Amino acid sequence: MTETQETKGGSPSRRALIGWGGAGLALGAAAAGGAMAMAEVGNDVDPAAADMGGAVEFHGAHQAGIATPVQDRLHFAAFDVKTDDRAEFVQMLKDWTEAARRMTAGRPVGEGAYGGLAEAPPDDTGEALGLKPSRLTLTIGFGPSLFDKFGLHGRRPAALADLPAFPGDNLDRARTGGDLCVQACADDPQVAVHAIRNLARIGFGKVAVRWSQLGFGKTSSTTPGAQTPRNLFGFKDGTRNIAGTESDRLKKHVWVGDGDGGDGDAWMTGGSYLVARRIRMNIETWDRTPLQEQEDIFGRDKGEGAPVGKAKEHDKPFLKAMKPDAHVRLAHPDSNGGITILRRGYSFTDGTDGLGRLDAGLFFLAYQRDVREGFIPLQRRLSAHDALNEYIQHVGSAVFAVPPGVRDSGDWWGRALFSKEA
Ligand code: HEM
């Protein structure tokens, strides 16, 4: 498919937005090509900015934003579906895909932010013009409640299990659940925010944002060669994560395999399951906790990040040297029958809570092949025994089926789920 066709069949044009759908449809390929050319010129798209690197390939067997080296910033949004018209929802997914394809390449949505019809709002909101692609990745997920709609009932994978209530959970309903989600990661926060904003705008009337979360300071790395980031408790986080280059471990623990869950779940092959938890961290209490106690809680030292009794961060942990309730001892695969998840979380601070305390914490994101064999048993153990529980509280929660990647320019997010032949 050519770019002209993609653009024509993609994001709603400004004419469509002001009800000129008929006129828009009547446009021939040549006219659509003209609009495209106008967008390129009208928005002063700097070819250097789009081509200068910093763009992550949107197409592939898996969605970008999972094994991709973790970017610095996050804007995550969960949406509720507002339409009961399946065709309208599918068209929105196609429009989203086209917009995502353009934005991840550093291009504006549709006909751009200016230079088009003066009588209509522009297709793109404009705040990312002139910015580099900033390694933007957009990753879509489908929540359990989506499968109650659009005749999808029989297509919900068993691995997309509802999360049980864990001890200590204090979930805010307004920050929990969602029919679908989009995870936007980028090295520039404005690029991530622009992407979610424009998808929400395209989805107007069909979906509405249920909750969203901004994140900074990645708390997990998928690039072990790089310096391990630190979380808001000041400890290195992500030391023993799955690396984006470890294809064997990704295949074993993250990507849904051929035949997982039986025929009905075949549409998920190459996808993954995402658990998102908004975890509030009691910063003020932590900051009054002695260093030794802090290190005991994790089972690692604060400076180097070395496991108890070891000298270097990447030394193999000797779990029995740690306190029985140390976080790392409890979370380590050897304590959990080999359970391994890919962590991709971010720190957040959303101002103060009205009592003078920071509303801050970890927006925990974890990808796995099956939620029943990943997050659920792990969190059962942690929520019951982890010494860290005195300093944290889970206040938001959601789980999503993250479909496989968009293969090429003719493919779209959710095709395998919504197409009968898949
Ligand atoms: C605010 C909450 C949390 C904080 C501050 C935190 C912090 C840490 C830190 C500092 C480490 C050691 C460095 C590393 O290997 O990455 C670690 C390891 C780990 N955490 Fe957490 N964590 C939190 C919540 C969770 C949750 C909810 C889970 C899963 C249910 C989890 C799973 C793990 C795992 C699997 C490891 C690696 C253990 C190993 O292989 O040695 N963490 N975490």
Residue nearest to atom 38 of ligand 1 (CA): 332
- State the distance from the centre of ligand 1 to the C-alpha of 331, rounded, in angstroms: 7
Place of tokens 């000129």: 20
How far apart (Å, rounded) are the C-alpha atoms in residues 210 and 220?
A: 26
Supply the pLDDT for residue 339. Answer: 97
Q: Is the CB of 364 under 6 A from ligand 1?
A: yes
Mutate to test the pocket of ligand 1, among 233, 277, 364, 376 (most ligand atoms within 8 A of CB): 364
Q: How many CB atoms lie within 10 A of CB 346?
A: 26
Q: Is the CB of 374 under 6 A from ligand 1?
A: no
Mutate to test the pocket of ligand 1, among 327, 363, 392 (most ligand atoms within 8 A of CB): 327
> Do the beta carbons of residue 375 and residue 166 sit within 8 Å?
no
Supply the pLDDT for residue 420. Answer: 67
- State the distance from the centre of ligand 1 to the C-alpha of 383, rounded, in angstroms: 12
Phi, psi at 215, each rounded to 5°: -135, 150
DSSP one-letter code for 300: B
Q: Is the CB of 75 under 6 A from ligand 1?
A: no
> Do the beta carbons of residue 216 and residue 348 sit within 8 Å?
yes
45-54, 76-85, 395-404: range with lowest mean pLDDT: 45-54
Supply the pLDDT for residue 107. Answer: 97
First to last CA, the chain: 21
Left (φ > 0), alpha (ψ -120 to 50) or beta: where does 231 sit? Answer: beta
- State the distance from the centre of ligand 1 to the C-alpha of 9, rounded, in angstroms: 44
Q: Is the CB of 278 under 6 A from ligand 1?
A: no
Supply the pLDDT for residue 92. Answer: 98
Mean pLDDT of the chain: 88
Atom of ligand 1 nearest to the CA of 340: 35
Residue nearest to atom 20 of ligand 1 (CA): 331
> Do the beta carbons of residue 276 and residue 365 sit within 8 Å?
yes
Residue nearest to atom 34 of ligand 1 (CA): 331
How far apart (Å, rounded) are the C-alpha atoms in residues 306 and 304?
A: 5
Supply the pLDDT for residue 399. Answer: 98
pLDDT digits (tens, 9 = 90+) for 332-341: 999 999 999 9
pLDDT at residue 408 greater than cutoff 60: yes
pLDDT at residue 261 greater than cutoff 60: yes
How far apart (Å, rounded) are the C-alpha atoms in residues 388 and 399?
A: 23
pLDDT digits (tens, 9 = 90+) for 347-366: 999 999 999 999 999 999 99
- State the distance from the centre of ligand 1 to the C-alpha of 252, rounded, in angstroms: 20
Q: For 82-86, what is the mean pLDDT?
A: 98
Q: Is the CB of 346 under 6 A from ligand 1?
A: no
Supply the pLDDT for residue 219. Answer: 75
Structure tokens at 343: 């962590």
- Residue 43's DSSP bridge partners are none
DSSP one-letter code for 141: E
89-103, 196-210, 251-265: range with lowest mean pLDDT: 251-265
pLDDT digits (tens, 9 = 90+) for 219-243: 776 777 788 999 999 999 999 999 8
Supply the pLDDT for residue 46. Answer: 41
pLDDT digits (tens, 9 = 90+) for 318-329: 999 999 999 999
Percent of the chain whose pLDDT exceeds 70: 86
For 148, residues 6+ apart whose C-beta sits below 8 A from its C-beta are none
Q: Crossing angle for the helix pair 189-202 and 86-104, nearest 10 degrees?
A: 160
Under the banding of pLDDT at 50, 70 and 90, the label for residue 184 is very high
pLDDT digits (tens, 9 = 90+) for 367-389: 999 999 999 999 999 999 999 99
pLDDT at residue 276 greater than cutoff 70: yes
* DSSP SS3 for 410: coil
pLDDT at residue 37 greater than cutoff 90: no
> Do the beta carbons of residue 17 and residue 29 sit within 8 Å?
no
Q: How many CB atoms lie within 10 A of CB 214?
A: 19
Residue nearest to atom 42 of ligand 1 (CA): 331
How far apart (Å, rounded) are the C-alpha atoms in residues 275 and 376?
A: 9
Structure tokens at 151: 């005749």
Closest CA to 140 of 101, 86, 188: 101
> Do the beta carbons of residue 111 and residue 147 sit within 8 Å?
no
Q: Is the CB of 196 under 6 A from ligand 1?
A: no
In angstroms, how far apart are the furthest CA atoms of the chain? 72
- State the distance from the centre of ligand 1 to the C-alpha of 188, rounded, in angstroms: 26
- State the distance from the centre of ligand 1 to the C-alpha of 246, rounded, in angstroms: 19
- Strand duo 207-218 + 342-343: pairing: unpaired
Task: Report the predicted TM-score, pTM, of the whole model to 2 decimal places.
Answer: 0.89
Residue nearest to atom 40 of ligand 1 (CA): 332
pLDDT at residue 53 greater than cutoff 60: no
How far apart (Å, rounded) are the C-alpha atoms in residues 159 and 368?
A: 10
Q: Is the CB of 413 under 6 A from ligand 1?
A: no
